[in-house]
Structure 1
Amino acid sequence: MRVSAKSDYALRALIEMAGRTDGHPVSAEELGRQQNIPHGFLQSILADLRRASVVVSQRGQSGGWRMARPASDVSVADVIRAVDGPLVSVYGVRPEAVEYNDSAEVLQHVWIAARRSLRDVFENVSIQQLADGKLPAAVTSRTADEDAWQPH
């Protein structure tokens, strides 16, 4: 899987929002400055997140962006889907919709299994957990294996 800059920036912006203890909206300019995200790109990301009901904008002097629902209710998977679409696709098609001939049909099972593995992590990590720096044991156990850190 390749994590896009869009997904990475979206997650970083949401971590920044969730980590604020004052509960006040934060401007896109401040989010961009805090996380080193280009302003125009961040505006596009925030619009995607708003359409997915992950964030809301507030206009006015004390306006800005805030989470639309508790950060504990927003998963990494929710964010990736909001800005990039399905977790796994095969040339832009969901894996269950890809058609193969008999000899290559087994590939579909590989794509489905990969999606399931990603879901096991991405759907079980919330923005609040990221903001708190406390990942679920099922995730941290996957990083405890030294081989997980090795490029292959």
Structure 2
Amino acid sequence: MRISSRADYAVRAVVELAVRQGEGPVKAEAVATARDIPHKFLEGILGDLRRGGYRLARQAAEITVADVVRAVDGPIVSVRGERPTGLAYTGTAEPLLPLWIALRANVRRILEGVTIADLAADALPEPVERLAAEPAAWENP
């Protein structure tokens, strides 16, 4: 799985909006500066700027990282651009389908279990903290 720059920047921007939630609409330029996101790239993510600024449509605790990733990149895990549930394998390749489905389930479990409010509060759920604390998680084989 690959997290695109677009998804990374989108999550960072949404976290900034959550942190500023009580301030009313926030200009894209302020979000770009606060989260070190190229302003032009952020404009592409947020759409053309209008008179006002941006704010969250729902409470940060109701928005998961998965919601944001899906909004900017589509399905979270795909194989050759298709969702794993739409694939079919035969012969010796048959075990690949449950492997891709398991991968999808685990990625979804993590990304759907972390809300924008968690990130804004710098308080990841304990299972995520535990996985990130494993030394092997930081190494590239």
Measured after TM superposition, the shift of residue 36 of structure 1 is 2.2
Cα distance in 1 for partners of 2:97, 2:40 equals 37
Residue 2 of structure 2 aligns with which residue? 2
Q: Give unpaired runs (5+ residues) of structure 2.
A: none
After TM superposition, the score normalised by the length of structure 2 is 0.92
Work out the percentage of aligned pairs sharing the same amino acid.
46
Matched ranges for 1:117-132 at <5 A: 117-132=106-121
Moved more, 36-45 or 84-93: 36-45
Matched ranges for 1:131-146 at <5 A: 131-146=120-135
Higher relative strand content? 1
Report whether the alignment pairs 1:29 with 2:46: no
Cα distance in 1 for partners of 2:55, 2:97 equals 39
Number of equivalent positions: 140
Measured after TM superposition, the shift of residue 92 of structure 1 is 0.5
Residue 112 of structure 1 aligns to which amino acid in structure 2? Answer: I
After TM superposition, the score normalised by the length of structure 1 is 0.86
Q: Please give the root-mean-square deviation of Cα atoms over the aligned residues, in Å.
A: 1.5
Runs of 4+ deviating beyond 6 Å: none
Residue 72 of structure 1 aligns to which amino acid in structure 2? Answer: A
Higher relative helix content? 2
Report whether the alignment pairs 1:112 with 2:101: yes
Residue 108 of structure 2 aligns to which amino acid in structure 1? Answer: R
